[in-house]
Amino acid sequence: MAKYIYPAIFEKEEGYGYNVRFPDVDGCYTCGQTLIEAFEMAVDVLALMLFDKEETGKAIPEATPIEAVKTARGEFVSYITCDTKVYRRSHRTKAVKKTLSIPEWMNEEAVEAGLNFSKILQEAIAEKLNGILPDEKPAPGK
């Protein structure tokens, strides 16, 4: 789980938009109708490919220095950054059942108060991890 930066080659395709490929990451390519969309899609596909490598234990390739990337006429190179930890948080949201123990009196009072045990546990763990829940926005200053 880390932050990465890789060079991407952008190519304007007449009548459509932009194709994007990462010369250092096999099979890593995408496209977008606008340059902004192409950059957004590039971040997403890079995070997906590197996340998959992390999950499967495959080697993460070295990034070529941007000045060493060769391009054809009409292409340009730009660095793309991604954070697989952020990607993991937004895409791995499946609930995992956990068994825990609390005093009987606490359970009774919590049930009577209508408390949501799962939500409270998630919030407490996120606070301990200095993180946020996937469906929440960070508080100012975090």
Reported as a single tens digit per residue, the pLDDT across 106-116 is 888 888 999 88
DSSP-assigned letter for residue 104: H
What φ, ψ does residue 32 adopt, rounded to 5°?
A: -155, 150
Reported as a single tens digit per residue, the pLDDT across 84-107 is 988 888 876 667 777 788 888 888
Mean predicted confidence (pLDDT) in 30-52 = 96
1 close to 85: Cβ distance less than 8 angstroms = yes
Element at 39 (helix H, strand E): helix 35-56
- Sign for the pseudo-dihedral over CA of 135, 138, 139, 142: positive
- Is 78 in a helix, a strand, or coil? strand
Mean pLDDT of the chain: 87
In order of their start, the domains of the chain are 3-90 (3.30.160.250), 94-142 (no CATH)
46 close to 22: Cβ distance less than 8 angstroms = yes
